[in-house]
Amino acid sequence: MAGRYGRPRSVLRMRTVAGQVFLLQVAIVVMLVAAAIAALVLQSRTDSEREARNRSVAVAEAFASAPGIVQALQSPHPTVVLQPRAEAARKGSGVDFIVVMNTKGIRYTHPLPDRIGKKFVGNLAPALAGGITTEKIVGTIGPLIQAVVPVTDRSGKVVGLVSAGITISKVSGVVDDQFPLLFGSAAGVLLLTTGGTALVSRRVRRQTHGLGPAEMTRMYEHHDAVLHAVREGVIIVSGSGRVLLANDEARRLLGLPADVEGRQVDDLGLDPGTEGLLASGRVVTDEVHPVGDRLLAVNQRSTDQAGGPPGSVTTLRDTTELQALSGKADVARGRLKLLYEAGTEIGTTLDVVRTCEELAEFAGARFADIVTVDLAGAVLRGEEPTPSGSGPEMRRTAVSGEGAENTALYPVGKVIRFNPDTSLGAGLSNGEPVLEADLTALSGWQRQDPERARRLIDYGVHSMLAVPLRARGVILGVAMFWRAQEPKPFDDEDLSLAEELVARAAVSVDNARRYTREHAMAVTLQRSLLPRGLPEQNAVEAAYRYLPAQAGLGGVGGVGGDWFDIIPLPGARVALVVGDVVGHGLHAAATMGRLRTAVHNFANLDLPPDELLWHLDELVARIDQDEATDGSAGVTGATCLYAIYDPASGSCTIARAGHCQPLLLRPDGTAEFAEVPGGPPLGLGGMPFETWEMPLPEDSRLVLYTDGLVEDRDRDIDAGMAVLSRTLTGRADRTPEETCEAALSELLPERPTDDIALLVARTHVLDASHVADWDVPADPSAVAQVRAAAVRKLVEWDLADEAFTAELILSELVTNAIRYASGPIHVRLIRDRALICEVSDHSSTSPHLKQAATTDEGGRGLFLIAQLADRWGTRYTGDGKVIWTEQPLVGEMTGEQGAPSLSPPAP
């Protein structure tokens, strides 16, 4: 039965009643057997100590009373006489020692001769007083019992002492030999009792069908809840005609008394037909029986199938209201048919205007006398409409109906501005339908155009329905239904049908608008421009999320201009970028791609963050200027945050252009927003950008995001940033992936209206043993010293194969720095995914690669470096420059050298 619920029967995880009883009984048996064994062991220990005590006393007394002991003690040399006799007695009695001593405790005999003449360790006072003392001590040979007895002369004077001792283990060995038999008997008892317990549990399992206590309780609760909650009466009658169970609905339908259980069927006062059916137990299906003013459909089955108890179960269903509902069902069936036919006749093409015409023609022929459809101008242009949909204007797109051209309705192509003071204008703004059952009452709708309203009423139009075309949360337009020849006004049921009809048509209109080349291009462009994965680098452990805005709340298919990037930089550094282009659609996505490409290009120049943003700002301004000349839409707004993290020093430098402050999570779980100076958004120009620089400890987390994460319609950006900080505070054990999930689960709105880009980077610090640096004096003879030191370090790093190439590169770079540069020269080697060589000086002159002529004596150094190194370049600093090269490590690339060089992240 446990298998029915998908749980395996495990001895360690019993959930059935039988299993729990079995485990309880086995536990009791094991406890009893263990207690018995423990008692026997304790008893054996007590007996062993008693035996050791008796034997030591007996041996000591026997030796003390042996003939010649007193004379030996009084002789000039007692040890000569007593030592052989004591050893012979010890070996014969089986004790561990027999020691004879004078009244001061000085030994005359001992199994170890070096102990003779030394003071005895033990309590001698009772023996000196003429008594016998025993004590348990732990000696060098283990726990033992020693006895001390006096040796007296004929006058009863104590002239010496005798001590005999035996270890407890020597006495208990006999008892220990009986332990196998003892434990074997215990195991047999355990097996017998376990077998008996298993038989009892098996019977319990059959009785409970393998169910556990929780399952039995749940089954009873569900059984009771279902019986009393169903809208069908249930009666169970035994084979003897006695009612075993009747639920609440059965009591209500048949008017049964409260004490119905246990009574005979013929004692309930039922009508003869129903009473005979319940007593007979025959099988019936949907047999109708009149009971009072009700018509009950009765189903009855026998309960003795598949070995069940004899009897029958009867279900009762009230069908009185079916006749009343049959008329409504016909109406509903007609409306369902109408909606089905609308689905086949509306939306046959992917043309917006034609779809509106199909809606007007279908509804004008089958639902209303005249139908008009108006669409927002953006929809007609294939663009995304505003969320309110009513916008500044709508254009009449389709009109259908007999005599529609003779009415005062606006013609096709007319631009209509709906008055917000009218019920129609207010309803459209809120996306709600409007029902004007009696237009002649002039309830305010006529304020849209009083003259046309008067002419409509004169024509005979008396009732109107207006239903917005809604799709994906935005209003595409409005469909209006008018009645003139049909005398019956529109009612709430007509409004419900019109909403269903318009909802289906709105989907077709929106599909026609969305199914365009722009949509496909936007989605393709978005996917191609965003990063598809993280680059290989060791500076940070990163995770990211990009969520487009929900379609229908802005943007074409949710395409927007948020982006992020991780760019590896020379020197094992990494650049973290997050940006946001205002707007949605193809233009925003294309602009995002241009800016992302520009950031990559500027990053390849190894510019500091503030200088990179300055160049990016100039680029955006130039784009705006160029696109303004041909009437194209410029960059309506863009923000960017650029950070560089150096794992060798652990420092992070950040600059931002109008972007949100990054959140810094420290290893101890505290969170704070980095106070990065705020620059203007990109494209404004005229103001410099400032940088924020701070060393970050190992396992710090830098959280970069766009405003879509912390700001939406119901929450301002400050409140969102506070929620973000509160959500991530105190959980330093989260991985970057878990941090992303925690932030999104707390801050992601149900219907996001803006893109969300989130980048979380956990910092690593380069192991100090993987960095080596030297200061080089401006002396050509120092080149050899640097080369030798570098080779030693590479051999220490197990990079002897790369040492020759690195030696050539360093030799050329240091020689050039000594010859052409100024100020102190510094050399640094970094072992990361590649071997990085850096030579820094205080000169701002950048070396240039050139092809030397055959007659030139020099000029081939950089060419040689370019051939030997995988990459090389120049990075400018505040006080000079750094020339760097990267040399691939073949061993680590193939996995032969072991783990990456950065210290591992915290678990």
Q: Tens of pLDDT along 769-790?
A: 888 888 888 888 888 888 888 8
pLDDT for position 642: 96
Distances (CA, A) of 571 to 408, 648, 801, 809, 833: 77, 8, 21, 16, 10
The SS3 call for residue 343 is helix
Q: Which pLDDT score is estimated for 643?
A: 96
Residues 115, 107: contact at Cβ < 8 Å?
yes
Rounded alpha-carbon distances, angstroms, from residue 579 to 399, 657, 705, 724: 47, 9, 8, 18
> Can you tell me the distance from the alpha carbon of 136 to that of 132, in angstroms, rounded to the nearest whole number?
14
pLDDT at 328: 61
Q: Which residues pair with 467 in a beta bridge?
A: 479
Please give the Cα distance from 894 to 485 (Å, whole number): 85
Residue type, 141: I
How many whole angstroms separate alpha carbon 758 and alpha carbon 769?
A: 34
How far apart are the C-alpha atoms of 288 and 570, rounded to whole Å?
88
* Residues 465-511: tens digit of each pLDDT: 999 988 888 888 999 999 988 889 998 888 998 899 998 888 888 88
Torsion-angle region of residue 276: left (phi > 0), alpha (psi -120 to 50) or beta?
alpha
Separation of alpha carbons 520 and 526, rounded Å: 10
Q: What is the pLDDT of residue 635?
A: 59
What is the C-alpha to C-alpha distance for residues 814 and 812, in angstroms, rounded to an integer?
A: 6
Predicted confidence at residue 701, as pLDDT, reads 94
Which stretches of 472-539 are assigned E, i.e. beta strand?
474-483
| d(C-alpha 581, C-alpha 589), whole Å | 8
DSSP state of 264: B
Q: How far apart are CA 34 and CA 28, in angstroms?
A: 10
Q: Kindly write down the DSSP assignment for every residue of 568-619, as one continuous string.
A: E-STT-EEEEEEEEEEESHHHHHHHHHHHHHHHHHHHTT--HHHHHHHHHHH
CA distance 570 to 565: 16
CA distance 704 to 710: 12
| DSSP string of 75-120, one letter each residue | SS-HHHHHHHHHHHHHHHHT-SEEEEE-TT-BBS--SSGGGTTSBP
Edge-to-edge order in the sheet of strand 701-705: 540-547, 756-763, 701-705, 663-665, 671-673
Question: What pLDDT is attached to residue 636?
Answer: 64
3-state helix, strand, coil in the chain (%, to 5): 40, 25, 35
pLDDT of residue 282: 85
How many other CB atoms sit within 10 Å of the CB of residue 177? 9
**So what's the pLDDT on residue 832?**
86
Q: Which residues contact 101 (CB under 8 A, 6 or more apart)?
A: 107, 108, 120, 160, 161, 162, 163
Q: Residue 58 burial by CB count (10 A; 0-12/13-18/19+): exposed, middle or buried?
A: middle
Give me the DSSP letters along 815-839: HHHHHH--S-EEEEEEESSEEEEEE
- C-alpha–C-alpha distance, residues 852 and 501, integer Å: 80
Alpha-carbon distance 244 to 278, whole Å? 12
Report phi then psi at 368, rounded to 5: -130, 170
* Paired residues of 5 in beta bridges: none
Q: Nearest to residue 661, comparing CAs of 609, 725, 568?
A: 725
Give the span between the Cα atoms of 764 and 696, in whole angstroms: 9
Instruction: Please give the Cα distance from 37 to 30 (Å, whole number).
Output: 11
Q: What pLDDT score does 634 carry? A: 55
Mean pLDDT by 10 residues, the chain (907 residues): 44 56 73 75 75 84 84 85 86 85 88 86 84 82 85 85 84 62 71 73 67 69 71 83 83 82 82 83 82 82 76 82 59 79 83 88 89 87 66 82 82 88 83 88 86 88 90 87 90 89 88 64 67 85 84 48 90 92 77 88 90 90 73 70 93 93 93 91 84 92 92 86 92 90 89 85 89 87 86 87 84 83 85 88 73 52 75 83 85 42 35
CA nearest 56: which of 105, 6, 90, 22? 90
User: What is the distance between the alpha carbons of residues 15 and 8, in angstroms, rounded to a whole number?
Assistant: 10
Instruction: Classify residue 759 by burial, with Cβ atoms within 10 Å: 0-12, 13-18, 19+.
Output: buried
Closest CA to 301 of 287, 318, 321, 291: 287
